[in-house]
Amino acid sequence: MGFIDKLKGELIDIIQWLDTTGDTMVFRFERYGNEIKYGAKLVVRESQNAVFINEGKLADVFVPGTYTLETKNMPILSTLQGWKYGFESPFKAEVYFVNTKTYTDQKWGTMNPIMLRDPEFGPVRLRTFGTYTMRVKDPGTFVKQIVGTNQDFSTQGITNQLRNIIVARFSDMVGEKKIPILDLASNYDELGQFIGEKIRPDSELYGLEISQLLVENISLPPEVEAAMDKRSSMGIVGNLQQYFQFQAANSLEEAAKNPSGSAAAGVGMGMGFGMANQMAQAMAGNPASSAGGVGAPPPLPQQAQFFVAPGNQQSGPFGLEQLKPMVVSGQITRETLAWRSGMAQWGPAGEIPELASLFAAVPPPLPQK
C-alpha cells in the first residue's frame, strides 16, 4: 500500500460494510496494518454483526447500531490491549462483518442413490432433493470454526458440508423408520421437520441455524418407475373381459362413423371379441385349447351327499359308495332317517330313490316265529 492509501486509511474514521453480492456471509474490513483510530465510528446495520479479532483471538462482537470505538464500548478488547484510562491512540484489530440475514432456497440432494430395503419392492435405490434456509446464529463461533482468516466467505463455502450432513441424517432416518416407498410422499412435511431436528446439533457447532428444511421430491430409478406405472395401469384396467368389451364397443362406434371401413372394422371387432373370450377363459382357469377353438369336456356331475341318522345320531355327509358298506353291515336300515340338499325334511332311507337301490342286495329280516 502506497503513502496516499496509508494516508486515506488514517483519515477515514467510519467503519461499515454494504453487501452488494447477496451471498457473502462474512467480509473482512481492510485497514492499513489493521490500525483503527481511537474514537472511530462503527456502523453495524440490521442483519449484521461486527466481530473484532485481536492478535488472532476473538475480542468483541457488536450487534446492529452505531458505536464510537472507545474504551467503554470495547471491554474485552480494552482488556487485551492493556490501555490505561484516557489513553488515546490507534489500535490494531481485525474487523469482520458477519451477515446474519436468512439465506433462502439453499439446495440439498443426494449425489448418489441411497440403497434401502422396502417391505413391498425389496432392495431399491432412492434419490431425493429439497431446499433449506439458514442463518448465522452465533457470529463468533462461525468466524472461529468456519471463516478463519479468509478475507470474505460466501454461502458456497458451507453449503456442500451442510448438504452432506442432511443427506447422511436423511439416509439414517429412512433406514431406521422403514417407511414404505409408497408412503414417503404423504410424509414430506414430517420428514423435513424430523431431519431439521436431527441436524440441529451439527449446525450449532458451526454457529449456524437451519430454520426450515423441505423435502421436495423422492424418486426411484427410471426402470423401477416404469414397472410401477405398468402395475398401476393393470390395476386401473381391472376386469380384462370388460375392458376388451369396452374397446370393442369403441371400435363399433368408430365403424359407424366410417361406413366405408365397416367390413374391416367388423373383422377387427370379431377378432377382438374372440381374443377377449379366450383371455377371459384363461383367467377363469378354463383349460380350453387354443387349437381350433375346441374346448375341454365339462366336468363330471357330482354325486349327491346324504346325511344319515342311525340311532337318531346325525352323521355325514356321505356319498353312495360310502353308504353301501354301512347298509351291508346293517348300520343303516330302510327305516334309518336320511336327508340331502333339496329335500324338505328327513325321510326313511328305503323310500329315497337314490338310496333304495342300496337295499336291493340286502335280504329282508327273517320272519318271526
Q: Above 80 in pLDDT, residue 252? A: no
Angle at 108 between CA 98 and CA 111, to 5 degrees: 130
Cα–Cα distance, 219 to 109 (Å, whole number): 11
Q: Please, which contacts does 58-61 make with residues 24 or more away whose CB atoms are closer than 8 Å?
A: 58/140, 58/143, 58/144, 59/93, 61/139, 61/140
Q: Reduced to 3 states, what is the DSSP secondary structure of residue 233? A: helix
Residue 362 burial by Cβ neighbours in a 10 Å radius (0-12, 13-18, 19+): middle
Q: Does domain 103-220 have CATH number 3.30.479.30?
A: yes
Please report how many Cα atoms fall inside a 13 Å half-sphere around the Cα of residue 363, on the Cβ side. 3
The residue extents of the domains of the chain are 3-99, 103-220, 306-359
Residue 136 has what pLDDT?
A: 95
What single string gives the DSSP state of each residue in 289-336? Answer: -SSTTPPPPPPPPPPP-EEEEGGG--EEEE-HHHHHHHHHTTSS-TTS
Q: Above 70 in pLDDT, residue 290? A: no
Cα–Cα distance, 50 to 226 (Å, whole number): 55
- Closest by CA position to 143, among listed 19, 21, 27: 27
More confident residue, 122 or 286: 122
With bands split at pLDDT 50, 70 and 90, how would you rate the model's confidence at 287?
Answer: very low
Positive or negative: CA dihedral 68, 72, 73, 76: positive
Q: Please give the radius of gyration of the chain, using alpha carbons only, rounded to the nearest integer.
A: 45
Q: Above 60 in pLDDT, residue 280? A: no
With bands split at pLDDT 50, 70 and 90, how would you rate the model's confidence at 288?
Answer: very low
List the grid coordinates of 10: 488514517
Helix ranges, the chain (H): 3-11, 75-81, 139-142, 156-177, 181-184, 188-205, 222-237, 240-257, 262-283, 320-328, 353-356
Q: Reduced to 3 states, what is the DSSP secondary structure of residue 35? A: strand
Residue 210 burial by Cβ neighbours in a 10 Å radius (0-12, 13-18, 19+): buried
What are the residues facing 29 on neighbouring strands?
A: 95
Q: Reduced to 3 states, what is the DSSP secondary structure of residue 107? A: strand
Q: Above 70 in pLDDT, residue 369? A: no
Residue 7 has what pLDDT?
A: 44
Least confidently predicted of 46-50, 71-75, 156-160, 274-278: 274-278
The answer to whether the pTM exceeds 0.75 is no
Report which residue type is found at 66: T
- The residue with cell 439465506 is 103
With bands split at pLDDT 50, 70 and 90, how would you rate the model's confidence at 174?
Answer: confident
